């Protein structure tokens, strides 16, 4: 969804390759647009948060591996195959 706004041109909104004049929209249409913008902003925020959490996870995993380098270890056992019944 995009919106063009200038002082001389009417305000429009484009949805699914169709252009609509903002002056022609109902209050319900405008509320849906407003809600959609809120959701789009939340999605952007959560994407950024998830990216930061991924970086933090990698940093913590690297620190854990470095701190475990001097700790004696043995190979982990192979996982068991699921039993089908």
pLDDT digits (tens, 9 = 90+) for 4-14: 555 567 799 99
Q: What is the mean pLDDT of residues 15-31?
A: 95
**What is the tens place of the pLDDT at every residue in 25-80?**
999 999 999 999 999 999 999 999 999 999 999 999 999 999 999 999 999 999 88
CB 12 within 8 A of CB 3: yes
pLDDT at 8: 65
List, in sequence order, every residue forming a beta bridge with 19; answer none if it has no partner.
14
pLDDT at 83 over 60: yes
Query: b/e for 26-63, b at 16 or more Cβ within 10 A?
Result: eeeeeeebeeeeeeeeeeeeeeeeeeeeeeeeeeeeee
Q: Residue 84 — very low, low, confident or very high, per pLDDT cuts 50/70/90?
A: confident
> Is residue 69 in a domain?
no
> Is residue 82 in a domain?
no
Q: What is the DSSP letter of 24?
A: G
**Which structural domain, as residue segments, surrounds residue 33?**
2-62
> Is residue 24 in a domain?
yes
- The number of folded domains in the chain is 1
């Amino acid at each position: 969804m995009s919106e063009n706004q200038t002082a001389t041109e009417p305000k429009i909104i484009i949805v699914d390759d169709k252009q609509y004049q903002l002056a022609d929209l109902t209050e319900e249409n405008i509320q849906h647009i407003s809600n959609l913008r809120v959701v789009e902003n939340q999605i952007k925020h959560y994407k950024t948060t998830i990216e930061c959490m991924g970086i933090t996870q990698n940093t913590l995993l690297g620190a854990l591996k470095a701190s475990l380098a001097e700790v004696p270890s043995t190979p982990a056992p192979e996982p068991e195959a699921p039993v089908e019944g």
